[in-house]
Amino acid sequence: MNHEYTIKDLIDAALKRYNFDESIVRGHVEQAYKEVVGEFIVQLTRSVRYDAGSHTLKVVLSSPALKNELTYKTSDLITAINKKLGSNEVVKLLLL
């Protein structure tokens, strides 16, 4: 029996086996958030954490006014982040 695998297939399998794939996705999502919102909002962001299990991006902001403003743009932010990622990874955005 002859199995042919690409290097990508082997790397993907190894990443999944050792649960590194979730860490990589988390890093990509958090970076996409920063690119989408820009430097000004990043500086007012205390933390960004992505939970791959629930597909939820949790963002802690230092400004209540910014939190209020971004609340109205949650859907647009999710769409822009997912577009940057090339997948529908983020389903929910919690602004805290």
Q: How far apart are CA 89 and CA 24, in angstroms?
A: 12
pLDDT in tens, the chain (96 residues): 567 888 877 777 766 676 666 777 888 999 999 999 999 999 999 999 999 889 999 999 999 999 999 999 999 999 999 999 999 999 999 999
Q: What is the pLDDT of residue 2?
A: 64
Q: What is the pLDDT of residue 80?
A: 97
Q: What is the pLDDT of residue 4?
A: 82
Q: What is the pLDDT of residue 1?
A: 56
Domain residue ranges in the chain: 7-95
Q: What is the pLDDT of residue 3?
A: 74
DSSP letter for each residue of 32-90: HHHHHH-HHHHHTEEEEEEETTTTEEEEEES-HHHHHHHHTTHHHHHHHHHHHHTS---
CATH number for the domain formed by residue range(s) 7-95 = 3.30.300
Its pTM stands at 0.78
